[in-house]
Amino acid sequence: MLGAAGIAHFALAAALLMSTMPAAHAAKKAQAKSHDESAATQSQAASGPLPANAVARVNDVLITQDQLEEALRASNVPDTPTSRAGVKNQLIARELFRQAALKAHYDTRPQVIAIVEQAKALAMTQAYLRDQVKPAPVTDADVKAKYDAVVATLGQNEYKSSVIAVKDADTANKVLAELKKGTDFAQLAKQYSQGPNAAQGGALNWISFKTPITAGNTQNWPQPLAEALVKLPQGAVSSTPVQVGDAFWIVRVDQERPTQIPPFDQSKDMLRKQLEQVAVEKATAEVVIDLVKNAHIQQ
């Protein structure tokens, strides 16, 4: 028999299942439970001692020690007698919910069937891509070449800046007028900016440019904005809005210093991950291209 604590865990498990499980996760659970219908291999008489590998029996279905260990790892909580009891009660609750739903024929409901089919399609697709996508290996030489290429784009100085980006010149001029009155830049960024990191007051990471600035060597910054930035002394704000496309930018140099180039050993792991991601994307694109060539697609 389970006491009040066990019942509380059941209620918690129900609430978690209803309120926090995203659709994709729910689909995976539904698919996993569909396999559990074959639990005749687990099924035991509803009475008598538990087998050595079981921690509970819910009607005629066993909850195994392996299931408990897996659920405990997934819960990411400290392994204590209390947490083990809590996770076990949640597993019992979930099995009770599953059995009740099955008894009420929820497995035949269209929305449940659709979720199971979505989970099956997702699992098949992921397995197919794992087998078919063969990214080129990233070598140590590739990583060093990437490091050298990045270093070659850096200038003598680097800048810590903040920006405010708005959609029209009138708003930009209004912001500049407020700045001249002494209004805090970060406050105005939070109020008006539609640019990056507006919620953080428009503050950006350190950036360095080779000067004179040339097209394609601006670290993904808009060239007019990069040109405005390097002309400003530390603490200064652009005196006029910088137009980039349909947006008007105001930039401030928060700090300026000689460029700090991290040693290769500190950068190589991050660069390797970036190169590996690019290799995966390239290999995936190649698979897509081959599939498109052999497909009839009407739009």
> pLDDT for 233-249, tens place per residue?
999 999 999 999 999 99
35 pLDDT exceeds 50? Answer: no
- In contact, 192 and 222? CB cutoff 8 Å: no
pLDDT of residue 31: 38
Instruction: Tell me the mean pLDDT in the region 255-260.
Output: 96
- In contact, 158 and 256? CB cutoff 8 Å: yes
Choice among 33-42, 87-96, 120-129, 198-207 with the minimum mean pLDDT: 33-42
CA distances (Å), 58 to each of 31, 96, 227, in order? 20, 7, 70
Band the pLDDT of 7: cuts 50, 70, 90: low
> pLDDT for 157-194, tens place per residue?
999 999 999 999 999 999 999 999 999 999 999 999 99
27 pLDDT exceeds 70? Answer: no
- In contact, 10 and 93? CB cutoff 8 Å: yes
> pLDDT for 113-152, tens place per residue?
999 999 999 999 999 999 999 999 999 999 999 999 999 9
Instruction: Tell me the mean pLDDT in the region 43-64.
Output: 84
Portion of the chain with pLDDT greater than 70, in percent: 84
Question: Domain-by-domain residue ranges, the chain?
Answer: 4-132, 155-258, 263-293
* CATH architecture designation of domain 155-258: Roll (3.10)
Average pLDDT of the chain is 88
pLDDT of residue 47: 63
